[in-house]
Amino acid sequence: MPATDSVALGDPVTTRPRRRDGVAGNARLTGGAAVLLLALLALEGMTIPLIGALRGPHIFIGMLLIPPVLLKLGSTGYRFLRYYGGSPAYVRNGPPALPLRLLAPLVVLSSVALFATGVLALVAGPPSSTLIFLHKASFVVWFGAMTAHVLGHVLKVPSLALPDWRRHGGREARLAGAGMRIALLGGSVAAGLVLAMATVSLAGPWLSP
């Protein structure tokens, strides 16, 4: 009997498919987080050309983005640790393409720098000239690295992000843990909204004429 059929029948001995599902589940969570971030980042990007008039929404969306960004970093960091820790399932699945692996540290570091300088400037209040300069500089680096990162993954993201939301479609749509992954995505947005609303008062000085 095929191993996958044994698991479907509840065979407690066969564990390989469960490990593969763990790898696939991690990939789906990463893909779902990527789609969520692309949508939120698109909204944030719309505020940049009119940052003088839309500074409030820029700050609010920026704070909202922090938990989803942490979720994405967490899911990719988990894969990194499992692969380089020698987990058989992750090793069999293989690493990303070499150019994307070389790009990853720059994506992570520029993302941390972008959000850290933004938060520090928000807390410090205007004018915070040095922090604003660093925020803008890190954005330039982040935008270039993120553009290359997105282009390297864009073709496979839909196939990772969509199946968990389908009610039908065979085993591909019934991968264990779909509810938990959806809850993590929704929870990151909820946490972002709480964080954004909790820091609204800090934005006041930045909105004064």
Separation CA 121–CA 136 (nearest Å):
11
Pick the closest to residue 69 from 102, 40, 95, 43 (CA basis).
40
Task: Judge whether 1 lies within some domain.
Answer: no
CB 89 within 8 A of CB 22: yes
CB 38 within 8 A of CB 151: no
The predicted model scores a pTM of: 0.86
Task: Give the count of domains, the chain.
Answer: 1
Give the domain range for residue 41.
21-207
pLDDT value at position 59?
A: 97
Task: Judge whether 142 lies within some domain.
Answer: yes
Neighbour-count burial for 8-19, b at 16+ CB within 10 Å, e otherwise:
eeeeeebeebee
CB neighbourhood size of 34 (10 A): 22
Task: Judge whether 14 lies within some domain.
Answer: no
pLDDT value at position 173?
A: 56
Task: Judge whether 91 lies within some domain.
Answer: yes
Task: Judge whether 35 lies within some domain.
Answer: yes
Per-residue pLDDT of the chain (209 residues; tens, 9 = 90+): 333 433 333 333 334 444 347 899 999 999 999 999 999 999 999 999 999 999 999 999 999 999 999 999 999 999 999 999 999 999 999 988 999 999 999 999 999 999 999 999 999 999 999 999 999 999 999 999 999 999 999 999 988 988 888 766 555 556 888 899 999 999 999 999 999 999 999 999 999 87
Task: Judge whether 4 lies within some domain.
Answer: no
DSSP 62-99: HHHHHHHHHHHHHHHHHHHHHHHTT-HHHHHH-PPPHH
Task: Judge whether 180 lies within some domain.
Answer: yes
